[in-house]
Amino acid sequence: MSTVDNPRKALEFLQGTLEVLILRSLQSAPNHAYGISQFLEQQSEYEFFVDNGSLYPALQRLLQRRWISAQWKKSPNGRRAKYYRLTPLGRTQLVAAKSKWIRFVEAMARVLAPQR
């Protein structure tokens, strides 16, 4: 294992982060799995690579917790797809998780790269 991070390699999701990001991606509108993965990759400027092997189990977990719900719908290009939307419970979870993660990221940054 190398000790210096390879900037060309996509970042892996830390434990628990993918779920929060999925919730965030559904904040403005319902979306399907492919749409979610595209949204996350674009928003992170391709720092994140969304592996379907992680995305689908994460979606199932969110469904189990009733934070999102799913429904088959027609996509704009006329294809049938399963759309996920935030439930009210999921929305409150998102608010809580968002502030927690922002605090976490800022704290990490302060420790790792202190501004003199």
Interacting residues with other proteins (CB under 8 A): 32-34, 51-53, 56-57, 59-61, 63-66, 75, 77, 79-82
Q: How far is the CB of 60 from other proteins (least distance, A)?
A: 4
Q: Is the dihedral of CA 62, 100, 92, 49 positive or negative?
A: negative
| CA–CA distance, 57 with 80 (Å, rounded to integer) | 21
47 three-class SS: coil
Q: How far is the CB of 36 from other proteins (least distance, A)?
A: 10
Quote the strand ranges of the chain, DSSP E. Answer: 68-74, 80-86
| CA–CA distance, 25 with 38 (Å, rounded to integer) | 10
Would you say 10 or 81 has its CB closer to other proteins? 81
Q: How far is the CB of 82 from other proteins (least distance, A)?
A: 5
Would you say 21 or 67 has its CB closer to other proteins? 67
Q: How far is the CB of 111 from other proteins (least distance, A)?
A: 31
Would you say 10 or 63 has its CB closer to other proteins? 63
Would you say 57 or 104 has its CB closer to other proteins? 57
Helix axes 17-25, 52-64, angle to 10 degrees: 80
